Structure 1
Amino acid sequence: MTYGNESIRSLSDREAVRLRPANVLGSDDINGCFHCLIEIADNAIDEAKGGYGNKIIITKHKDNYYSVEDFGRGVPMDWNSVENKYNYELIFQTLYAGGKYEKNDDDAYAFAKGLNGLGASATAFSSKHMLVRSYRDGYKYEIEIAEGEVVGGLKKEKYNYNSTGTFVKWKPDLSVFTETDIPFEWIKKYAEEQAIVNKGVTVEVYNEETNEKYTYYYENGIIDYIHKLNQGKNFTDVVYWETEAIGRDREDKKDYRSKYQIAFCFNNEINVMESYHNSSFLKHGGSPHEAIKNGFTYAIDQLIKKKGEYKKGEKKITFDDIRDSLIIITNTYSTETSYENQTKFAITNKFIRDFMTDYIKQQLEIYFIENPLEADKIMRQVLINKRSREKAEQTRLSIKKKLQSNINNITNRVDGFVNCTSKDNTKTELIIVEGKSSLGATKQGRNPEFQAIYALRGKILNCLKAEYDKIFKNDVVVDLLKILGCGVEIKSKHNKELNSFDINNLRWSKIIIVTDGDIDGAHIRTLLLTLFYRLTPTLIKEGKVYIAESPLYEIVQGDKSYFAYSDKEKDEIISQLKGKFIVQRSKGLGENTPEMMWETTMNPETRKLIQITVDDVEKMQKYFELFLGDDLQGRKDYIEEHLHEYIENVLD
């Protein structure tokens, strides 16, 4: 390629967007496509926010067309004598052209979302087709755009409309974006966000293909939203603050106006922190999130110190301890906004951060004084969260250290474990037997190439009732997890980092539980299944866990033995035998010969395995929690209800 004076060229606005959409729209995939929808809808939101129209309709049409309709003043489309151009050319054909640059603190666009004059034109340039209609001044104005260029100029006619407003319909161009099918769920989420922060404005969304229609309306804005999030589970009342301020980010900058709406409550089951600015959802927060973090942490820490609730030498709280139980929504506005980038996911205004931090500190101090019972609830819950987090961290470090082991040296480190020779985890089996008395027969009766044995020792811990710190102090549990090799799954907001589970690290193709056929064996089997259910449920869901069905009877005739796994099977075998035979209850595992263990339990060709399935998990969840959980009354009720069935079975 020749690189000379003639190699340098400039791109038109249209070419720049179509060639490099990510530079303006943040992405050239479905995210950039969705950003176009937001840009068009934001203009409608700005109209409603300024008091022009109180309804917006967003439609996902067939064939990946989208439209936004508002009932504002109608976008200006006619001749602009100042710019010596038509306004439709400025708005839909020119980057950095718009009507929101020169705005006063009290005009309709004081807190506008669209600032740079990029959105409408960037959407037009990146569309396969666009239709724009504007109703204003007694006229209907219309333009059509194909692949970013206006076709046929402006159409203008006298029109008797019911309301002024703007309708924009467009189809994103697949030659610009890699994908153009915006998920309807994204559109719904955006629509609800706008209804939340623009109280009194109705936002409708319609999916033409599925005929789905949703209407979002929050009469009291973020207060109504907080009540929705709470689900009635908040343990403090909803608090709402609203204020305004004037300030500047730097001494060499001019003052600007800002508004603040803050609503929060405390909830033990749900935690949410969302911030909006000039009606844009701040995915990454920025200044408002920093203010929430600094303000709440300072005020609650001061409250704990004042009440003397820190233990001697105890570390102070962090915001994570507060956030675990906090639902807070902030909705801020400013006439000057510093966004991180065009996607507007975070703002960086220093004045907003500093003012909001001080405001939250002051308001919380007043709130705690005026509401001592609420203050006490908040303080105690934050301390519970803090101490639970610290306890969880200690547990995490402990279990991480305990589970660090190597398959090559695990044999010498785990009492009762006998490894196999193969390292192919698509063939190897881990056979768990009850007690060391069973180890001899199973060890001699196995195939040592692919079958490993772990003989349990002592009583198995009920993992459903025990706290995690107690579970991971139990040597049998920890040793079994070491042998499995796949880590653990923890269901706790404080133990996220403890979720080390990876099924790809499982060392066995099958995990087989082998116990005696008596009540004690059934109890051990149940406790083992409880362990898997609590700590590694995915192993059950993926069909890795089995129960080896032990024979109930041994029927001996001469030098030949027959094994029956039920009374019915015993009767069937007896009915086919002729001559003398002996029927005896099958011995316990520890009394079996290696040959009998191989034939009845270990041999893949002759053994009977019961695979634990997802349906079993659902049943286990019900009955484990009933019989092994804390529901004492539930157990009593179940026994009373089903006792007659047991008596009838015994009599039979």
Structure 2
Amino acid sequence: MAEAKEKDLFDYTEDSIKSLDWREHIRLRPGMYIGKLGDGSAPDDGIYVLIKEVLDNCIDEHMMGYGKQIEIMIEGKGVTIRDYGRGIPLGKVVDVVSKINTGAKYDSKAFQKSVGLNGVGTKAVNALSHYFKVESFRDGRTKAAEFEKGILIKDHKEAKTEESNGTLVTFIPDDTVFKNFHFIHEYLDNLLWNYCYLNAGLVITFNSKRYVSKNGLLDLLKRKSNEDEIRYPIIHLKGEDIEVAITHNNDYGEDIFSFVNGQYTTQGGTHQQAFREAFVKTIRDFFKKDYDAADIRQSIVAAIAVRVQEPVFESQTKTKLGSSVVYEGGPTMKNFIGDFFAKELDNFLHRNASVADAIKKRIEQSERERKELAGIKKLANERAKKANLHNKKLRDCRVHYNEEPPTKNKEAFIELQNKSTIFITEGDSASGSITKSRQVDTQAVFSLRGKPLNCFGLTKKVVYENEEFNLLQHALNIEDGLDGLRYNNIVIATDADVDGMHIRLLLMTFFLQFFPDLVKQGHVYILETPLFRVRNKQETIYCYDETEKQAAVKKLGSKPEITRFKGLGEISPEEFGRFIGDNMRVQPVILEQGDHIQNLLEYFMGKNTMERQEFIIDNLRVELDLVEEAP
């Protein structure tokens, strides 16, 4: 009998084949539709993709000339989005949000250069929402439908309305899919500004805050750069289906923002690569010198936006463009952008000699710095190679962010890559606890010897001269940029005391000074671990702050045992596993709009000014104050 049962498990019969409906498939394989899930700590987490999918439809209406205003409201975990476009045809309100491959964008005459072409977006939002309601207003009539987890629960009848034309979507993400999720408004702030930069005149209102741009990518670069630090006034060029803005500053690395049809392509693609190559070629041709490409692009801050007919993206979340041509039968992306630069940027540089001279000086400065580093870099890399063979600082994981996914189980592998994490810890005791409790497939540990060097104001030479920084740089594989980054998440895990906070600050200074793109692209986090353990014989509650502790004491009653964790080393490996698993709490390191790196570092890590002393005195908190404030 046992053998017969075992055989049945491996039988490949008609019963083995399953057909899932659209809703079941989206809920079973959400990664295919919205990328990773997450809890809202990262800018590409699924809850933001849900908002973006609804907004993309609003933007497409605006691009077609209908509706200059979009209103967004987020209260708690509920999202409401209202546009003033034409409104969904009333007879198709249910179909558009619940029948896969249903939409208006298959007819390229209606949506020549749309963001979303595959009729999936709002269906995914519907299927992955605990509650979803769509309401269309069209020519004095309205029609609404309500869903739970993609299942229609109420199909409203058509009725009269005095509302202006447009569509109203309300949804609450399903917390069984997006566990412990929360919205970080700074991420939405960036998303909404990008929509406005690419759609001059569009007004977006988010929780009463107004977003509008008059000058497109010029406004974007003004917000992304510091006027005092840029080497020359921003170059702003426009053509048919293309717009670019370019300048250089004093930061390390390349800061390139790329867009397709109003969509922010965070992972770049064919248009971004074409931009990088076209800029280098035009500069070389203009100066008639074979400058190194890295020297030309060092410290560049730029944005490029293109319009493409029926774009092909490498994933449903549209973060990387795969299209090789601008439109069917038209020029390749490389030729289109290359020709635009060869004409427009070359003309600009001929007309603006002072800008051309500033670019030349910036390139030659990068060239000198690179040559000065060459000798020490070679020695440091040889040391790092030897150290990597038996690097006691790094306990590596098995799956890395920069690896090419296999053809088999590609989706599952990419999901693991997105989870790839390196914990940077202080001392052996903390790293020991994390190492014993980590998930070895996706979690690596890098152990610091003590407090790292304050590298504010120092040149990149220190990265190679300081053994610890050099080993960390090699562990991350970021020496030549982020293309080879080995871990998607860099988590600083230090004690929640004064020394731990100081190490945290020194590490953030290192990243912001030499590898700012890591922070700008949302890869750096701070690990939150519990400060207290409150327990009785029946239950144990871990608390992350004084308020949670007071609530736990109240819940357990009758004088429970309270333990205050002074450092990560005091938490046993068995306990630690609970805090770095699926429910891990992290705080993203976010640069707010308008924050400029050198100003920030000068304030926090520069000389001890009266301004900083006053800030510390005004914001000093003691434990007694916190206890008194707790409910």
TM bracket, shorter-chain basis = 0.5 to 0.7
1:38 to 52, 71, 76: 52
- Aligned equivalent of 2:363: 382
Q: Distance in 2 between matches of 1:285 and 1:22?
A: 20
Q: Answer yes or no: is 1:235 the counterpart of 2:231.
A: yes
Q: Give the aligned residue type for 2:168.
A: F
Contact 1:490/1:535 (<8 A) preserved: no
Going from structure 1 to structure 2, the CA distance change for 1:498 and 1:425 (only over 3 Å counts) comes to farther
Going from structure 1 to structure 2, the CA distance change for 1:205 and 1:379 (only over 3 Å counts) comes to same
Contact 1:287/1:347 (<8 A) preserved: yes
What's the C-alpha RMSD, in Å, of the aligned pairs?
3.8
Contact 1:73/1:164 (<8 A) preserved: yes
- Aligned equivalent of 1:335: 309
Going from structure 1 to structure 2, the CA distance change for 1:117 and 1:497 (only over 3 Å counts) comes to closer
- Aligned equivalent of 1:170: 171
Structure 1 residue matching 2:237: 3-state secondary structure: strand
Structure 2 residue matching 1:263: 3-state secondary structure: strand
Contact 1:200/1:221 (<8 A) preserved: no
Instruction: Spell out, residue by residue over 1:49-103, the C-alpha distance to the aligned partner (whole angstroms, 9 max, x if none).
Output: 22211111222222x111211111112232xxxxxxxx12321111111011112
Going from structure 1 to structure 2, the CA distance change for 1:376 and 1:131 (only over 3 Å counts) comes to same
Structure 1 residue matching 2:90: 3-state secondary structure: coil
Matches within 5 A, 1:335-354: 335-350=309-324, 351-354=332-335
Structure 2 residue matching 1:265: 3-state secondary structure: strand
Q: Distance in 1 between matches of 2:471 and 2:15?
A: 63
1:89 to 89, 94, 102: 94
Q: Distance in 2 between matches of 1:468 and 1:183?
A: 33
Q: Give the aligned residue type for 2:607.
A: K
Q: Distance in 1 between matches of 2:152 and 2:71?
A: 25
- Aligned equivalent of 1:597: none
Matches within 5 A, 1:525-536: none
Q: Distance in 2 between matches of 1:619 and 1:41?
A: 38
Q: Answer yes or no: is 1:131 the counterpart of 2:112.
A: no
- Aligned equivalent of 2:61: 47
- Aligned equivalent of 2:246: 264
Task: State how many pairs are aligned.
Answer: 406
Contact 1:19/1:176 (<8 A) preserved: no
Q: Answer yes or no: is 1:18 the counterpart of 2:20.
A: no
Contact 2:232/2:355 (<8 A) preserved: yes
Going from structure 1 to structure 2, the CA distance change for 1:498 and 1:288 (only over 3 Å counts) comes to closer
- Aligned equivalent of 2:336: 355
Instruction: Spell out, residue by residue over 1:13-58, the C-alpha distance to the aligned partner (whole angstroms, 9 max, x if none).
Output: 1111122211222234442232111111111111112221111122
Cα deviation, residue 465, structure 1 = 9.9
Q: Give the aligned residue type for 2:86.
A: R
Contact 1:95/1:122 (<8 A) preserved: no
- TM-score of the superposed pair, with normalisation by structure 2: 0.58
Instruction: Spell out, residue by residue over 1:426-472, the C-alpha distance to the aligned partner (whole angstroms, 9 max, x if none).
Output: 9xxxxxxxxxxxxxxxxxxxxxxxxxxxxxxxxxxxx9999776x89
Going from structure 1 to structure 2, the CA distance change for 1:349 and 1:158 (only over 3 Å counts) comes to same
Q: Give the aligned residue type for 2:117.
A: L
Cα deviation, residue 337, structure 1 = 0.9
Matches within 5 A, 1:500-515: none
Q: Give the aligned residue type for 1:264.
A: I
Q: Distance in 1 between matches of 2:292 and 2:20?
A: 51
Instruction: Spell out, residue by residue over 1:542-578, the C-alpha distance to the aligned partner (whole angstroms, 9 max, x if none).
Output: xxxxxxxxxxxxxxxxxxxxxxxxxxxxxxxxxxxxx
Cα deviation, residue 144, structure 1 = 0.8
Q: Distance in 1 between matches of 2:605 and 2:216?
A: 44
Matches within 5 A, 1:515-530: none
Q: Distance in 2 between matches of 1:333 and 1:137?
A: 31
- Aligned equivalent of 1:99: 104
Going from structure 1 to structure 2, the CA distance change for 1:623 and 1:103 (only over 3 Å counts) comes to closer
Cα deviation, residue 276, structure 1 = 0.8
2:215 to 205, 214, 220: 220
Q: Give the aligned residue type for 1:204.
A: T
Structure 2 residue matching 1:285: 3-state secondary structure: coil
Q: Give the aligned residue type for 2:318.
A: K
- Aligned equivalent of 1:291: 274
Cα deviation, residue 286, structure 1 = 1.0
Cα deviation, residue 487, structure 1 = 5.4
Contact 2:129/2:173 (<8 A) preserved: yes
Q: Answer yes or no: is 1:70 the counterpart of 2:65.
A: no
- Aligned equivalent of 1:364: 345
Going from structure 1 to structure 2, the CA distance change for 1:220 and 1:158 (only over 3 Å counts) comes to same
Q: Answer yes or no: is 1:27 the counterpart of 2:22.
A: no
Instruction: Spell out, residue by residue over 1:390-419, the C-alpha distance to the aligned partner (whole angstroms, 9 max, x if none).
Output: 32232222345578999xxxxxxxxxxxxx
Cα deviation, residue 235, structure 1 = 2.8
Contact 1:60/1:184 (<8 A) preserved: no
Q: Distance in 1 between matches of 2:57 and 2:104?
A: 11
Cα deviation, residue 199, structure 1 = 0.9
- Aligned equivalent of 1:393: 374
Contact 1:488/1:498 (<8 A) preserved: no
Going from structure 1 to structure 2, the CA distance change for 1:124 and 1:467 (only over 3 Å counts) comes to closer
Contact 2:108/2:310 (<8 A) preserved: no
Contact 2:114/2:261 (<8 A) preserved: yes
Q: Distance in 1 between matches of 2:510 and 2:323?
A: 46
Contact 2:456/2:606 (<8 A) preserved: no
Instruction: Spell out, residue by residue over 1:552-605, the C-alpha distance to the aligned partner (whole angstroms, 9 max, x if none).
Output: xxxxxxxxxxxxxxxxxxxxxxxxxxxxxxxxxxxxxxxxxxxxxxxxxxxxxx
- Aligned equivalent of 2:73: 59
Q: Give the aligned residue type for 2:137.
A: Y
Q: Distance in 1 between matches of 2:322 and 2:104?
A: 24
Cα deviation, residue 195, structure 1 = 0.9
Q: Give the aligned residue type for 1:187.
A: L
Q: Distance in 2 between matches of 1:401 and 1:323?
A: 27
Structure 2 residue matching 1:347: 3-state secondary structure: coil
- TM-score of the superposed pair, with normalisation by structure 1: 0.56
Structure 2 residue matching 1:622: 3-state secondary structure: coil
Q: Distance in 2 between matches of 1:187 and 1:285?
A: 20
Cα deviation, residue 388, structure 1 = 0.9
Q: Distance in 2 between matches of 1:89 and 1:352?
A: 38
- Aligned equivalent of 1:182: 183
Structure 2 residue matching 1:224: 3-state secondary structure: helix
Cα deviation, residue 138, structure 1 = 0.9
Q: Distance in 2 between matches of 1:132 and 1:235?
A: 49
Q: Give the aligned residue type for 1:273.
A: I
Contact 1:54/1:71 (<8 A) preserved: yes
Q: Give the aligned residue type for 1:70.
A: D
Q: Distance in 2 between matches of 1:188 and 1:68?
A: 15
Q: Answer yes or no: is 1:277 the counterpart of 2:260.
A: yes
Cα deviation, residue 194, structure 1 = 0.6
Unaligned runs of 5+ residues in structure 1 are 79-86, 207-212, 245-258, 307-315, 407-423, 427-462, 505-509, 511-533, 537-616, 625-652
Going from structure 1 to structure 2, the CA distance change for 1:487 and 1:128 (only over 3 Å counts) comes to closer
Q: Distance in 2 between matches of 1:341 and 1:620?
A: 41
- Aligned equivalent of 1:252: none
Contact 1:191/1:204 (<8 A) preserved: no
Cα deviation, residue 367, structure 1 = 2.4
- Aligned equivalent of 1:448: none
Flag the structure with more relative contact order, 1 or 2, with Cα contacts below 8 A and sequence separation at least 6.
2
Matches within 5 A, 1:308-457: 316-350=290-324, 351-401=332-382
Structure 1 residue matching 2:157: 3-state secondary structure: strand
Cα deviation, residue 360, structure 1 = 1.1
Going from structure 1 to structure 2, the CA distance change for 1:29 and 1:618 (only over 3 Å counts) comes to closer
- Aligned equivalent of 2:157: 155
- Aligned equivalent of 2:579: none
